[in-house]
């Protein structure tokens, strides 16, 4: 199999590491634990247009994986970011799929003999229509960076995603982005975070200069006292790393006068309010370290990486489906959290992303697929950097590895060696939008069916069928309508199938059973389908029709689907 060095674009830095550094396969639990300790696996979450993909690219730039950032995607004549590879993403300037990036990083605060950290960063879809994909990603990470637009503050999608993090016990680092543009005051933003989500913000770096006049960052000490002033210099278009000048308090006061003094006073006010960092409270989900930044200008980006290395938790034990703890030093196990096809248009392959939970992964090893009990050979295993890939020979807990053409794998599946282990499945969201999918040309029926099967297995949409509509007209069920656009675009791009959607007049889905299906099928405003996993769903026109059925036919099974985001 032909492979390429891990890179993000043609502008890859000549001194970028060709592959993620590894100490070799550890022969002992101690060596394996040391490898896990070097890992930081996190997701970037936010409302659409808060700058997630731009930040992802800026982080890769500071890790020297690329030499020049791609700037704003979707603008004529300018490149898209490395993590946005679908044509739809490039055209609209939004992320509609999750992507994984892996790279080495040596913190500026590291000692010469400190090990190099391995960063596994999973960029998530920004649009709320793809919240199910984001939820899957959050099952595979150990921490999250919550990105907030300085002007807009907390937005609905951000709040929803934070609740997912809280539910899963994922510690959150808050980055207030776009400080180079006019926005709210920093204290107003902190008050909003505390009041709306009950999280105590504990800034590690405080902005010098108001929103729209970003000079630099005051680095706060343990007691809130200013340790130093990090002053940034703009580069052309923010395409390269912004130079930093480190000043002590006296030099900072001489350089930026009243702006520095205001920052110092506000930092002291934070300490008086008890808003200094406490690691135990952070890991317990009670506080969130805060950094102010401009991903577009590359201001504050190094500080984000340093904070992740210093404070974010390394991979730890995970409970299996029986509630037993799987330690990182146990034999190999992994969870599939994402399946994606169409990343390589030359080969039309299918990549299953797995998060390694325990043990050592070695390419070519034979593992067991927990859901089928069948052996699975991992001959084609790759690390991913955006759309580019390189073959991975070994990987460790916390790493994200892509298995090529793993057609038997689906999100939530477990792989293992030695004694059987199975991790809890990833539940599906309750769909709210429904459309019949049809091929424009009957001659393309085989390609149509193959495309539907692939998109269903990836979890792009839920596919529903019944005897009346048949296989030629399956029903697509989605959390948001933009998922339908992705289906149509990918069918055309990857299978050369023109397809059309016909909306259905349903707004609710409820789980039902075979005993109830016959009577439900007689009711107006109701249609019963079977999902590809065998679950029977009753689609209902509106909440009033549902209330009528529950009142008049209480013996029928109409159960809510699990709301996984709650």
The token pair that represents 548 in the structure block: 């009528």
Binding residues: 123-127
Q: Residue holding tokens 């791009």?
A: 493
| CA distance linking residue 163 with residue 563, whole number of Å | 12
Q: Distances from the Cα of 319 to the Cαs of 129, 150, 417, in angstroms?
A: 29, 37, 17
Binding residues for GTP: 123-127
- On whether the CB atoms of residues 258 and 269 are closer than 8 A, the answer is no
Q: Where are the alpha helices (DSSP H) in 359-510?
A: 445-458, 482-495
Handedness of CA 540, 542, 543, 547 (dihedral sign): negative
Q: What separation, in Å, do the N-terminal and C-terminal C-alpha atoms of the chain show?
A: 43
Residue 54's closest CA among 73, 30, 38, 74? 73
Contacts of 499 (CB under 8 A, 6+ apart): 437, 438, 439, 440, 448, 451, 487, 488, 491, 492
Q: How many residues does the chain have?
A: 566
- To 5 degrees, how large is the angle CA 194–CA 197–CA 203? 40
| CA distance linking residue 103 with residue 121, whole number of Å | 8
Q: Distances from the Cα of 492 to the Cαs of 86, 97, 447, 448, 553, in angstroms?
A: 13, 17, 10, 10, 44
Question: DSSP assignment of 121-177, as one string?
Answer: EEE---SGGGHHHHHHHHTS-SEEEEEEETTTBS-HHHHHHHHHHHHHT--EEEEEE
Contacts of 267 (CB under 8 A, 6+ apart): 203, 206, 218, 220, 224, 225, 226
Residue 508's closest CA among 447, 444, 431, 440? 431
The token pair that represents 194 in the structure block: 């505390």
- On whether the CB atoms of residues 263 and 207 are closer than 8 A, the answer is yes
The token pair that represents 68 in the structure block: 């020049």
DSSP H or E run through 550: helix 543-552
- On whether the CB atoms of residues 330 and 431 are closer than 8 A, the answer is no
The token pair that represents 87 in the structure block: 């044509």
For the chain, the helix, strand and coil percentages under 3-state DSSP, each to the nearest 5: 25, 30, 45
Q: What's the alpha-carbon Rg for the chain, to the nearest Å?
A: 25
| CB burial of residue 291 (10 Å; 0-12, 13-18, 19+) | buried
Q: Distances from the Cα of 158 to the Cαs of 61, 197, 275, 430, 481, in angstroms?
A: 25, 10, 22, 19, 19
Q: What residues does 177 pair with on adjacent strands?
A: 149
Q: What is the largest CA-CA distance in the chain?
A: 81
């Amino acid at each position: 199999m032909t492979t390429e060095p891990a890179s993000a674009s043609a502008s890859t830095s000549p001194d970028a590491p060709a592959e993620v550094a590894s100490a070799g396969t550890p022969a002992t639990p101690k060596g394996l634990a040391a490898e896990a300790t070097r890992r930081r696996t996190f997701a970037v979450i936010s409302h659409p247009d808060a700058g997630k993909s731009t930040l992802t690219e800026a982080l890769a730039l500071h890790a020297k994986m690329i030499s020049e950032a791609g700037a704003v995607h979707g603008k004529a004549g300018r490149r898209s970011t490395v993590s946005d590879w679908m044509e739809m993403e490039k055209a609209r300037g939004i992320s509609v799929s999750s992507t994984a990036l892996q790279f080495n990083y040596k913190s500026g605060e590291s000692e010469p003999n400190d090990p190099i950290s391995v960063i596994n960063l999973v960029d998530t879809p920004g649009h709320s229509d793809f919240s199910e994909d984001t939820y899957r990603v959050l099952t595979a990470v150990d921490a999250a960076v919550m990105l907030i637009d300085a002007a807009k503050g907390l937005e609905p999608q951000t709040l929803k995603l934070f609740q997912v993090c809280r539910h899963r016990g994922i510690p959150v680092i808050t980055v207030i982005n776009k400080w180079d543009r006019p926005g709210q005051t920093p204290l107003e933003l902190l008050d909003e975070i505390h009041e709306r989500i009950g999280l105590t913000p504990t800034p590690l770096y405080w902005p010098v200069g108001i929103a729209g006049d970003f000079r630099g960052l005051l680095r706060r000490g343990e007691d809130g006292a200013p340790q130093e002033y990090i002053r940034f210099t703009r580069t052309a278009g923010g395409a390269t790393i912004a130079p930093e000048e480190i000043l002590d308090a006296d030099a900072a006061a001489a350089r930026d006068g009243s702006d520095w003094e205001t920052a110092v006073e506000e930092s002291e006010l934070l300490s008086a309010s008890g808003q200094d960092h406490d690691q135990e409270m952070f890991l317990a989900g009670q506080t969130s370290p805060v950094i102010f930044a401009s991903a577009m200008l590359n201001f504050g980006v190094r500080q984000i990486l340093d904070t992740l290395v210093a404070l974010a938790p390394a991979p730890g034990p995970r409970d299996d489906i029986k509630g037993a703890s799987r330690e990182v030093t146990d034999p190999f196990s992994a969870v599939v959290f994402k399946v994606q096809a169409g990343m390589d248009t030359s080969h039309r392959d299918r990549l299953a992303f797995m998060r390694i939970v325990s043990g050592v992964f070695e390419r070519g090893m034979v593992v067991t697929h927990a859901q089928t009990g069948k052996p699975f050979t991992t001959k084609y295993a790759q690390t991913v950097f955006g759309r580019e890939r390189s073959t991975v020979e070994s990987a460790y807990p916390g790493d994200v590895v892509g298995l090529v053409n793993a057609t038997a794998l689906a999100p939530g599946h477990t792989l293992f060696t030695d004694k059987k282990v199975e991790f809890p499945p990833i539940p599906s969201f309750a769909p709210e939008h429904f459309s019949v999918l049809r091929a424009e040309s009957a001659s393309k029926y085989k390609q149509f069916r193959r495309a539907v099967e692939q998109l269903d297995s990836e979890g792009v949409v839920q596919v529903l069928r019944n005897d009346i509509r048949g296989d030629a007209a399956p029903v697509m069920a989605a959390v948001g309508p933009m998922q339908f656009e992705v289906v149509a675009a990918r069918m055309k791009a990857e299978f050369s199938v023109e397809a059309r959607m016909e909306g259905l007049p349903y707004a609710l889905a409820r789980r039902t059973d075979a005993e109830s299906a016959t009577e439900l099928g007689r009711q107006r405003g109701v249609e019963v389908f079977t999902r590809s996993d065998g679950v029977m769903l009753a689609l209902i026109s509106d909440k009033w029709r549902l209330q009528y059925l529950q009142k008049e036919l209480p013996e029928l099974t109409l159960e809510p689907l699990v709301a996984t985001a709650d």
